[in-house]
Structure 1
Amino acid sequence: MDIPFSYQKLLANQISIPSQLLSDYQSLSLNETDLVVVLHILHLQQSGILLPTFDQIAHSMTLNANEVSNVLKKLRNQSLLHIEQVKDESNQDQEWYSLSPLFNRLYEQEETSTKEEEGKLFQLFEQEFARTLSPIEIDTVSHWLDEDQFKPPLIKAALREAVLMGKLNFRYIDRILNEWKKKGIRSTQDVKQETASQQVQQAPKEKRDTSVYYNWLEE
């Protein structure tokens, strides 16, 4: 397929940024202005300007140099940006704006949030089973999380399906998750869409109320 020249130019003239930055910058108490300043720093550094001046950053923005200075001061005060030294190709010391602290904090928060969510998942299982999980059951949940890479919300959804079907056991939950995996279902939204599709197909021949649940493993 031939890509239009203008689109080729667009693809070539871009910077790579973590999607996590766009989705979670507010968790670091940053606003949209702070975010755009960070993006301009990344853009300028990609073009070889490691320590851009306030004027260089403000050049393509509606902010003036003083306002850019205030944003950088905020980032430094929050320990999200440091000025560090780096060796260039000639082994000469150069200073640059390091945003590593910002990205480290960003992903540390994600990891902490994930661990908290996983902890609540184990509590939910014990609540539904009305007992403490056995070591083998704990290993099973850990395998779903670490090896199969199922997200906690999806595992919760499978647990809910087992509860609604009156088949509260780990083998049944495991079969549900593997059935979803075969179908390419990786989120609770995928589950809802697939459930709705199956309910429509079964409506003429099903007498029971399928508005609450759907038996994923029914032949």
Structure 2
Amino acid sequence: MKNHFELFMRDQMTLSKRLIMRYRQLGLDETELIVILQLLRFQSDGIMFPTPSEMARYTSFDEQVVSRSLRQMMQKNLMTIEEINNGEGIVDEYYSFELIFNALYTKEEPKRTTPTDQSVEVFKQFEREFGRVLSPIEIETINIWLDEDHYDVTLIQQALREAVLLSKLNFKYIDRILQEWQKKGVKSVDQAKQAGKKYHQHQTAPDKAPREKVDPAIYYNWLDDAED
């Protein structure tokens, strides 16, 4: 028994009592708390960026639940993904809990946001189309589209549809579409559809028919130029 107790005492990690006591005040639920504890455990072992699948192995949750918890915490501005140079010219990602611990040990409350039904549906739609759980980087990309680039939810969904129809299902391609729509002042799904329709009509018009002069800058062919 003594040897077991010594092993138990050596096999410890430091946890914040304040986190255990105040997690609900930060807008966290028990599932998210367990995910945080697992992330801290992984990081204490030197694994700074575990996948949802890896974390799910040590909980009663499946991969989808872990992924959703990560997404929700990032949407609530309680957790971020940061980058660090490992000194060998390679950039590694890691989960940062700085916002959570700042809120726990200062009077400053985190700027929490409540995800809308529309934004939640965007993540579900991407997972349905990709046929898998989104990676943390992909979740962060969608959050950037919503929170920093301020793309309309419906435009993000339309860009995803474009990518699906053309078998270009990757985030780089979808991001390229959104950037070009923003540059051309496209702000609604109808405008996006009209821009694409006019461009393709122009491209497929017979040579003998007089073509309306079209400024290529208006109807940018993101479909041909974007790389996988």
In which range does the TM-score fall when normalised by the shorter chain? 0.3 to 0.5
Q: TM-score, normalised by structure 1?
A: 0.47
User: Larger radius of gyration, structure 1 or 2?
Assistant: 1
Where relative contact order (Cα < 8 A, 6+ residues apart) is larger, the structure is 2
Q: TM-score, normalised by structure 2?
A: 0.45
